[in-house]
Amino acid sequence: MSSTGYNAIPFYLHAELLPNIRHITLYVSIPASIPAEQAHPQISLSSSRKAVTVSVSVPGTSDDVTDTLKLPARVVEASRRVLAAGTDAPNNGRVEHGMREYSFRMQVESEDDGLSRPSQVECLDGFVPWTARDMGPRTRVRCRGCPSVFLEPSLSLSPSEVEKGRDLAGWVWKDLPSGNWAEMMDFWHCHKPDTHPSDRDTNDAEKQTDVKGYGAANQVFASEGTVLVDVATFLVAQADCRGLRKAELEKTDGDSKPEPETIVCENCSALIGVEDTVSQGWRLFKTNISASKRDPDNPNGMVWETQSVETVVAAQLLELIERESARRFVVHCGQKDGLLLWVFNPDLRYSNSSPNHSIAARQGMKVFFQSVDDVDAVLHPAHGKISSLSLEELRLPSGVFLAMTKALLGSNSMLPGSGRIFREWQVGILNRYDRAK
């Protein structure tokens, strides 16, 4: 949205990179109430060819409203002619959702560094916020909604160890492997090359599997002093936590399977995580907590950092895409209704001038979504009905599900009118975590 003269004439700029055809599509949306002959935008390309500036005349005055948008990549010099002649094209200036929309397609510079970097989908943990390497021995964790700290480094050690000066050791952070690691290691063990005759005994093989810890029967267990990190949670030992308590979930269906006990903040009763009985620990949701990190402006100081809901959910979806090779998901929070998501483009680079965005380019994923009235009917269709083999389920905490839905609806309203609907789907964008920043 324009930053100058907003009350007089709000207009929107949106740009998306299409890497496969090496083009950027720029959209300029102006209120349809302004006559077409007066709404004629003047568009100029910066000297670096990485940004555009758009000016629109305010009706009844001699003033111009101006806004600038950084492009997701550098475009070629010929784009200046495209922008100069684009508003005069016969098909430009169509009206969508009360806005007159102009679109321009510009070719991307062949030597642009942004296109040469590897996709974050292919980089291990590149899309996951708060991995073990982001944390340190002295990292503290607290409630996102209040200042109550429940993971302190000194709490990971016994009083005798603290007295011996071992409190400097602090936490040990470890990344958990992929969700299907045990299955893959079992597959490898069953199909590995022949071993030495003395090692072929079945009992010896089973013992070897148990010792090395890669059998599917082996489980990951929480241990004191260690924080195990996966895509969306921290797995910690109950003994390491302070200021948290259990609170049972309310049962909505007497025939439903038992729900795990929830973990809430003692100070403000906010949901923090759930009990993991299999791993014998507590899983703390990354979306519901804050973590301390060093203040870049003060080497001796600390600041509290949070992660947005959409980046954590996007990371979960990307991990499922990697692991299960699926693009369609039923997302819900345990209720009857939910959302059906189709991840159309998992690695989208875009720019937008709406109020909640900076003018800089961002990385996200384009998602098609629609409401589902009966989640179980979609996941488990009745006999005789078509079922989708490529459909995965993602269950989220209720607060996270509502925040993700709000983010999708908000991104839909920021898109150009022509890009908000695709057949029976609504179109939205979930922002991704970008480790390269």
User: What confidence tens digit (pLDDT) does each residue in 342-396 have?
Assistant: 999 999 999 998 776 666 789 999 999 999 999 999 988 877 666 666 899 999 9
Backbone angles phi, psi at 349, to 5 degrees: -110, 125
> How much is the mean pLDDT over the chain?
81
pTM to 2 decimal places? 0.83
Rg (CA), the chain: 26
- pLDDT at position 166 is 45
Integer Cα distance of 118 and 111 in angstroms: 14
Residues 138-188: pLDDT tens digits? 899 999 999 999 998 865 545 555 454 444 568 899 998 866 555 555 555
- pLDDT at position 3 is 42
Higher pLDDT among residues 289 and 213, named by residue: 289
Listed in sequence order, the residues at least 6 apart from 335 whose beta carbon sits closer than 8 Å to its beta carbon are 252, 375, 398
Listed in sequence order, the residues at least 6 apart from 90 whose beta carbon sits closer than 8 Å to its beta carbon are none
pLDDT (average), residues 39-56: 90
Residues 273-326: pLDDT tens digits? 999 999 999 999 999 999 998 777 777 778 999 999 999 999 999 999 988 888
Q: Which of 207, 215, 228 is nearest to 188 (CA)?
A: 215
- pLDDT at position 2 is 45
Question: Residue 65 — pLDDT band, cuts 50, 70, 90?
Answer: confident
Domains of the chain by start residue, with CATH = 12-116 (2.60.40.790), 132-176+221-303 (2.170.150), 177-219 (no CATH), 309-431 (no CATH)
CA angle centred on 230, ends 144 and 336, rounded to 5°: 75
Run of H or E including 395: strand 391-395
For 6-50, the DSSP string reads: TTT---EEEEEEETTTTEEEEEEEEETTS-TTT---EEEE-TTSS
**Amino acid residing at 192:** K
| pLDDT exceeds cutoff 90 at 49 | yes
Q: How many CB atoms lie within 10 A of CB 123?
A: 13
Share of the chain above pLDDT 70, in %: 74
- pLDDT at position 209 is 44
Question: Residue 85 — pLDDT band, cuts 50, 70, 90?
Answer: confident
Q: Decide: 236 and 227 in contact? Cβ < 8 Å.
A: yes
Higher pLDDT among residues 137 and 358, named by residue: 137
- pLDDT at position 97 is 84
Q: Which of 242, 287, 270 is nearest to 140 (CA)?
A: 242
Residues 96-120: pLDDT tens digits? 888 889 999 999 998 765 555 544 4
- pLDDT at position 4 is 41
- pLDDT at position 428 is 97
